[in-house]
Structure 1
């Protein structure tokens, strides 16, 4: 995978004040009135009664007049501050543009450089939050963390070039190299891991944890990806949940999919409303539940079924691939409907048996009654269900029952015919008896 990385550059603006050596103030060192501590040339030069400030470095707190409880260490640190208080700037031009904002902490060259009235921000690292102006409550930890943020609020960025292009997005959290790198206006996203949510621009309410998790997402919303490369190719899909390495890797625009387990749902591409648990899924399919992997899981136990009666329900069947379903009987699902006629006579050749399942299937050896699939196949192959290798697996007892009903009805009709013939003969005999009786009486 080739990724074009836009390198982050920070342009430092160094302000030089050219005055003659004769006009330049002498280097100050010591404690001033109102508990201010200074060290360096032109520090606290414009002070007008501030208190409890510490200024160390050329032009540190240069413009301050009444701002108090500030700490500025480094060339031009808190240079423009006038009334802002409780700020800490350590590093050349840290918090350079701050004027009246309070409670900011900037550690690193040009950290929070452009901030003027944003409050409660913390920036640690070269250029961290360097473009922030009025954004509030942001935390940036790492070189180039949140450098483009201007008015976005309550963002947290930790790691090299995290949330690099964020401008107005708020309530985002990015931890790791290039996490949420391209986010600009997206809100309420959480990226934990290198390159997590790398390409997200204005998608909202996404959570990505792991290397490159949701790495291709741009505008998709409400997605959750936990695991390396999980949901990596998702671009605009919404409300997907991928848990596990490579889970939902190839999904691009499908929505409301849930994949649990390493590689689960990784074959899905554009389908929606799928649930894949420890199953790769099928590309393009939708509205499907797949649990387990054929050939891996060989037994299934589900609580809450045995002993529970469902009135009016239908039986569930399974095919050789593990596909669950029900047998439908409505005419709208059928073609070529015709009487069964003599087809059902095949069951007359079947040989019911009693038996016990082998010990590995039934350790208790409970007596069973039924048919042998191989014997049934010889009579009518259509009465046998087969396994994935095509071998006889079981008997289609529901079909046997229908054929048995047909034979019963045929026999019943014969009985009715015999009874009708018998009644007719009885009537004929009765008439003969009556005629004979009349003749004898004469």
Structure 2
């Protein structure tokens, strides 16, 4: 209560109040030499003012509240404003429905409306921008546009013209405002648009938008979302359409685009790479490449500069040199997956030429090795090498995990004694299986060798048959000739006997 209670001042106060009633405008204080506000700070038009020169210029504005040194000093017709703090909304003239709490909050606002500024210097340079929300020391300090949200120490501090809502919703020209929540969130942004930053220093270094936006060629830029401590903190003017959720997610990205990092330090080391997706703690941690996908804790974390890799599963870190490699689950180690079920395989016969699927000791899948000459060197006949299979001992057996189904094959240890090149070993170097595809090739060689023997024998038999046939023909002819000679001799004997009887 500002009513003077001492009787010595009653007469002076009555005269002063009468003078104030004759003034053409309501004001919280007389000129600087006579700083005597009205009782209770209440004025016509449901206005309230407390403080030196608070609401000093008001004429027709209503429902304003000004508390503090020169709060709402320039306001004339603006209404429904609330200014608490030295020079809060100092320059506001016609703007309405603004709330400014803090020294110099919305200090230069003239005609902007529906703004909220809480904190020293919050929205200080806003002139005519509307519907902005700034909470924190110097939040949105340099902004002059509309519909931005900044919560935190110097959040969106340097933003000037970025974030003005424009274009048609959903179109390539749709440009939205910025949202920054957290100390230093989007602190360096000046003209970039449609960014969302939540967390300390999130998107702290992004400044302006791109000059070559896809399809339209317009200078739109932005479209980044960062949620978490220092998420996307290094992104600059060229970074756009990135999404980072988690502590230091995409923390070192500078100019890359279309990256998604979800999880603690996801895609932490990516700088200019684009099109990467990493979900999980430290997923894609070391990658600097492009279009990699990592899902799971530490998935793809060991890949460095490779691109087009896919790593799915916890601890599926990949190899540093991986490039165009797909890894699903762990193939080695104590935590490796022990079974795999994939739909769309059983009962489905692909069309066209097919190739068998093979797997090595490290769990790498692939098709059968190529047979083209262009992939091979040191080509020479197998010769007697294949004779090793003649020492193999085929057996019948049951697997310990399936005692009901009879199996047929070889024992790898026995094969190793004959030819060590025909067995496979696991990641520990222990004997695992038999290279049956190589055994098949050796069997073919042995078959061909035997086949050639059979062909040679058949040729020999044919030749012998021909000789026998010739010999049989000769013998038959000789028998025929012998019979003819004998008959002639018989005739001659008979003739000689007949003559002797006469």
Same topology, TM > 0.5? yes
Gaps of 5+ in 2: 1-29, 164-176, 210-221, 485-502
1:370 partnered with 2:409? yes
Q: How many residues align?
A: 418
Supply the distance in 2 between the matched residues of 1:271 and 1:321 (Cα, whole angstroms): 20
Q: CA deviation at 1:25?
A: 5.9
Q: In the alignment, which of 314, 323, 327 is matched to residue 364 of structure 2?
A: 323
Deviations 1:208-250 (A, max 9, x none): 2222222222112222222222222221111222222222222
Residue of structure 2 equivalent to 1:435: 474
Supply the distance in 2 between the matched residues of 1:70 and 1:38 (Cα, whole angstroms): 11
1:388 partnered with 2:427? yes
Supply the distance in 1 between the matched residues of 2:272 and 2:407 (Cα, whole angstroms): 56
Q: In the alignment, which of 426, 429, 434 is matched to residue 465 of structure 2?
A: 426
* RMSD of equivalent CA atoms: 2.1
Supply the distance in 2 between the matched residues of 1:92 and 1:439 (Cα, whole angstroms): 141
Deviations 1:56-91 (A, max 9, x none): 333222212222222222222211112222212222
Residue of structure 1 equivalent to 2:123: 112
| Equivalent position SS for 1:366 | strand
| Equivalent position SS for 2:399 | coil
Deviations 1:246-280 (A, max 9, x none): 222222x3111122222222222211111223322
Q: CA deviation at 1:432?
A: 2.2
Q: CA deviation at 1:315?
A: 1.0
Equivalences for residues 246-285 of structure 1 within 5 A: 246-251=282-287, 253-277=288-312, 278-285=315-322
Equivalences for residues 336-355 of structure 1 within 5 A: 336-355=378-397
Q: CA deviation at 1:371?
A: 0.9
Q: Provide TM-score, normalisation by structure 1.
A: 0.89
Residue of structure 2 equivalent to 1:8: none
Residue of structure 2 equivalent to 1:287: 324
| Equivalent position SS for 1:365 | strand
Residue of structure 2 equivalent to 1:150: 160
Residue of structure 1 equivalent to 2:13: none
Q: CA deviation at 1:30?
A: 4.8
Supply the distance in 2 between the matched residues of 1:339 and 1:397 (Cα, whole angstroms): 19
Q: In the alignment, which of 348, 351, 366 is matched to residue 308 of structure 1?
A: 348
Instruction: Tell me if structure 2 keeps the 8 A contact 1:27–1:42.
Output: no
Deviations 1:368-395 (A, max 9, x none): 0011111112222222222223332211
| Equivalent position SS for 2:83 | strand
Equivalences for residues 168-207 of structure 1 within 5 A: 168-185=191-208, 187-202=222-237, 203-207=239-243
Equivalences for residues 202-217 of structure 1 within 5 A: 202=237, 203-217=239-253
Supply the distance in 2 between the matched residues of 1:78 and 1:151 (Cα, whole angstroms): 20
Instruction: Tell me if structure 2 keeps the 8 A contact 1:106–1:112.
Output: yes
Instruction: Tell me if structure 2 keeps the 8 A contact 1:26–1:42.
Output: no
Supply the distance in 2 between the matched residues of 1:390 and 1:126 (Cα, whole angstroms): 64
Greater Rg, structure 1 or structure 2? Answer: 2
Equivalences for residues 130-149 of structure 1 within 5 A: 130-133=141-144, 135-149=145-159
| Equivalent position SS for 2:405 | coil
| Equivalent position SS for 1:378 | helix
| Equivalent position SS for 2:252 | coil
Supply the distance in 2 between the matched residues of 1:181 and 1:424 (Cα, whole angstroms): 95
Supply the distance in 1 between the matched residues of 2:94 and 2:303 (Cα, whole angstroms): 58
Supply the distance in 2 between the matched residues of 1:21 and 1:34 (Cα, whole angstroms): 24
Instruction: Tell me if structure 1 keeps the 8 A contact 2:329–2:337.
Output: no
Supply the distance in 1 between the matched residues of 2:291 and 2:235 (Cα, whole angstroms): 19
Residue of structure 2 equivalent to 1:79: 90
Question: In structure 2, do the counterparts of structure 1 residues 357 and 340 end up closer, same or farther at CA, with 3 Å as the change threshold?
Answer: same
**More helix, by proportion:** 2
